[in-house]
Amino acid sequence: MSFRLGRRMSVTAALAVASGIALTVGGIQTMNVGSSQSDGGDGERTEGITAAYAKARNMSVDEAETRLNRQEKLVKTDKKLKRSLKPEWSGGTWIDQKSGKLVVGVTDERHEDDVEGDGTETRLIKYSAEDLEKAKRSVDKLAERFSPRGATWYVDVRANAVTVKVAKSTLDKGKTRQFVDAARALGPVVKVRTTEKPVSSNVGITNGKKIESTNGTSCSAGWWVKDKSGADLIMTAGHCTDGGHSLWRYNGLHFGGTTNTSYEPMDWGTIHVDDIAAPRPTTGVDMAEGDHAKISGLGKAPVGTEICKSGYRSGQTCGPILAHDITVTYTDGTVLEGMSSANLVSDSGDSGGSVYQMDPEREDTHVIAQGLLSGSTEGTDEDDTMYYQPIESALLDGDLIFVKSMD
């Protein structure tokens, strides 16, 4: 597993970012973190957006539409179910792409009747959510003790375990092997997996349109946010803005400067958009095939949900969420916590890009922000894993306001 930090991507290929289109007065709404995800209502189907998703997933338009419609219903069901599931007897929920059902793990058959909803099924599991969280806290403590390199660990609801992944080439770096041995000693609730590719923190600089800072960094813009004073900010990856104040340009035009950076244990940063800047932030989402979508809000979709990202190097790619609340350690010792991952392709050139989900309420006209692209395993094949900073936790950390479309 080679984790590439510093995925970079152009503004024009990025999602709902500083695209150079003038801001439409009155065409926005601001949204605090605790607000609802969507305005609701049924949007008129836009065939081009479904086609873009179909192309990204290498399937027919009809198959893509069927999958997204099914996912829409399952995401709604998941939201309702989580109000009644108890951590002492449930082990999490996830969408199974093969069966097309929302799976709910339960520790006892007596609780199967507590799970009600169309398209759901229960599976008997050994460990409850409480058991898994306790095991993860134990792994966290081991990480504080041994400071492993090139490792990730998280509650894996599908495996009903805490999964620890580490590259074979980093086992002998520092005390990584001691960490792995101690994690295995916690018992079967922890599953340790070794991978072939090493973890790397190399920053990839790509050609093409991008935002560039005066300190030599080039990255993509992410989501449009505001601070409490109402100032316009562009949110991007924290490792892009890390390193102190710098000015930023798009197509050679100055548009702002770094205002804040959170890099370790999170990965987000903000760039102030000057009042006289040429590129202005918008709430339009550039999709593949020249189509566009609006932004209805932000959220955190369940494991198994199909999400997408748009990148300069690898374009628009989509795939299912693999896990939430992941801890990632780089070979240089950097530790990121509370990350999420998805099984989709990304490459050097995509860093800071917007990660989104089709809005279950308005599937073909709107999207829901999920996060900011942080990095991925090395390679651009179907086994690639992308890691991203969840948008909700970043906004809370920065006391920022998300900007969504008016309708």
* Amino acid at position 74, single letter: L
Short-list 9, 20, 32, 40, CA closest to 296: 40
For residues 50 and 192, which has the higher predicted lDDT (pLDDT)? 192
Q: What are phi and psi of 328, to 5 degrees?
A: -120, 135
CB atoms within 10 A of CB 99: 10
First-to-last CA distance in the chain? Answer: 42
Report the distance separating Cα 347 and Cα 379, nearest Å: 7
**Mean pLDDT confidence for 297-313:** 88
pLDDT at 381 over 70: no
Treating both helix axes as pointing N-terminal to C-terminal, what angle do 176-184 and 129-146 enclose, rounded to 10 degrees? 150
Distance of CA 210 to the CA centre of its chain: 21
Give yes or no for a contact between 154 and 193, defined as CB atoms under 8 angstroms apart: no
Instruction: Tell me the pLDDT tens digit for each residue of 177-220.
Output: 999 999 999 999 999 998 876 554 333 322 224 677 888 777 87
Give yes or no for a contact between 306 and 38, defined as CB atoms under 8 angstroms apart: no
Q: Structure pTM? A: 0.80
Instruction: Tell me the pLDDT tens digit for each residue of 108-161.
Output: 998 888 888 889 999 999 999 999 999 999 999 999 999 998 899 999 999 999
Split at pLDDT 50, 70, 90, the class of 359 is: confident
- The pLDDT assigned to 14 comes to 36
**Which one-letter DSSP state was computed for residue 192?**
E
User: What domain range is 40 assigned to?
Assistant: 1-407
For residues 23 and 95, which has the higher predicted lDDT (pLDDT)? 95
Give yes or no for a contact between 381 and 345, defined as CB atoms under 8 angstroms apart: yes
- The pLDDT assigned to 372 comes to 93
pLDDT at 252 over 90: no
- The pLDDT assigned to 291 comes to 67
Give yes or no for a contact between 310 and 53, defined as CB atoms under 8 angstroms apart: no
Q: Mark 54-85 as b/e (b = at least 16 C-beta within 10 Å).
A: bbbbeeeeeebbebbebbbebbebbeebeeeb
For residues 183 and 51, which has the higher predicted lDDT (pLDDT)? 183
pLDDT at 278 over 60: no
Percent of the chain scoring above 70 in pLDDT: 78
Report the distance separating Cα 336 and Cα 169, nearest Å: 20
Structure tokens at 399: 């006391």
Give yes or no for a contact between 297 and 402, defined as CB atoms under 8 angstroms apart: yes
Element (H, E) at 32: none
For residues 268 and 329, which has the higher predicted lDDT (pLDDT)? 268
DSSP assignments along 296-340, one per residue = EEE--PPTT-EEEEEETTTEEEEEEEEEEEEEEE-TTS-EEEEEE
**Mean pLDDT confidence for 158-178:** 92
Domains in the chain, number: 1
